Amino acid sequence: MIKRPNSTDYPEFFNTYIDLVKGDNVLKELEKQILEMQFILSDVPEEREDYTYATGKWTLKEVIGHIIDTERVMTYRALSFARCNPNPQPGFDPDMFMKNVNFNKRTLYDLAHEFGIVRESTILLYKNLSAEDLDKVGVANNWKMTVRSAAYVNVGHATHHLNFIKAKYLI
């Protein structure tokens, strides 16, 4: 089990995500989100896959792609910190990433499948880290954070966007 991080384990702006994580069993929550993502997206009609709720906002496919990209970034940070990489990790600009990818050419099914595969990889990493590894600290975007806090950010970030999808995209 990966205990909940202390508020000093991560930058304050991650509270938004970490506060969304239920309980203290983040591995269980990581696993549950694979099925939740598939369940939510399985009923989306094909004509709604490219839907956006307002001009200039991301499409549903782009939101899923953003969740995947963020998962990869946060998991790489966790890996880098766990392996004691002394190099600070760069910041992450989701809008810049979005300008350089076309998630809309893919199907929602394909993106949901990719999320599941990426998340399985994330889970395997965390399951095989020691308690000592989980407490290691690294720097990303000039902010210190622990490996354990990255796991909670992954869950909370996906939860944040899944809640937003339900509220804005699936109405």
- Backbone phi, psi, residue 33, to 5°: -70, -25
For residue 15, being part of any structural domain is answered with no
For residue 4, being part of any structural domain is answered with no
Q: How far is it, in rounded angstroms, from Cα 155 to Cα 103?
A: 21
For residue 150, being part of any structural domain is answered with yes
Q: How far is it, in rounded angstroms, from Cα 151 to Cα 134?
A: 9
CA distances from 94 to 58, 82, 91, 170 (A): 11, 24, 10, 23
- The DSSP element (H or E) to which 99 belongs, if any, is helix 94-99
Q: How far is it, in rounded angstroms, from Cα 57 to Cα 51?
A: 10
Q: How far is it, in rounded angstroms, from Cα 159 to Cα 150?
A: 14
For residue 134, being part of any structural domain is answered with yes
For residue 13, being part of any structural domain is answered with no
Q: pLDDT tens for the chain, 171 residues: list them.
A: 899 999 999 999 999 999 999 988 999 999 999 999 999 999 899 889 999 999 999 999 999 999 999 999 999 999 999 999 999 999 999 999 999 999 999 999 999 999 999 999 999 999 999 999 999 999 999 999 999 999 999 999 999 999 999 999 987
Q: How far is it, in rounded angstroms, from Cα 27 to Cα 20?
A: 14
Domain that holds residue 61: 24-43+55-169
For residue 17, being part of any structural domain is answered with no
Residue 99 belongs to a domain with what CATH number?
1.20.120.450
- The DSSP element (H or E) to which 143 belongs, if any, is strand 143-146
Per-residue model confidence (pLDDT) at position 115:
98
For residue 141, being part of any structural domain is answered with yes
Indicate the number of domains in the chain: 1
On whether the CB atoms of residues 50 and 60 are closer than 8 A, the answer is: yes
For residue 79, being part of any structural domain is answered with yes
